[in-house]
A = this chain, B = another copy of it.
């Protein structure tokens, strides 16, 4: 017997695989074709209109080289627009389209169902305990990743832009 099966890293990898598979299944059942990552990006842009890609990446803990492809696909699906910013010509400003907004509204039940299904093996109490510990461990180790979460402690600035730290 290898001890691999009991290593946190290996278990997390397995659970993540399951989480993605469950998300796909529930979302496909509901008639949508969105990945977990695309969903997170879409919802976050909706919550922060005119956000730029780097700030978006920080809000959902993506690598900034990954976000480009994700946004590409969302633009291609017609759920996002990407335009050069007036204020900073390096930045691309993101915005949810009407189609994107409609998708967000209709897909949410499937997404929430997926969260329940992936924790189906735990009692409600266990699920709460698990989530609390998962959040604590993740937050504590946040900066060990190249793509740490960068929540806006300050609120959105006048232009809707979020500043990290």
Main SS of chain A's interface residues?
helix
Number of copies: 2
Contact A134 B12 (CB under 8 A): yes
Contact A141 B118 (CB under 8 A): yes
- CB proximity of A136 to chain B, nearest CB, Å: 6
Alpha-carbon distance A22/B127, docked complex (angstroms)? 26
Q: Select A145's contact among B18, B126, B129, B135, beta carbons within 8 Å.
A: B18
Q: What are 24 A-B pairs at a CB distance below 8 A? A: A4-B43, A4-B44, A8-B19, A9-B36, A9-B115, A9-B118, A10-B40, A10-B60, A11-B134, A11-B138, A12-B15, A13-B37, A14-B149, A17-B145, A18-B142, A117-B141, A118-B137, A118-B141, A119-B137, A121-B138, A129-B129, A130-B130, A133-B133, A134-B134
**New A-B contacts (14) at CB < 8 Å, excluding given A12-B12, A129-B133:** A2-B43, A5-B149, A6-B135, A8-B134, A9-B22, A9-B36, A11-B134, A14-B61, A15-B137, A18-B142, A117-B141, A117-B144, A120-B140, A122-B137
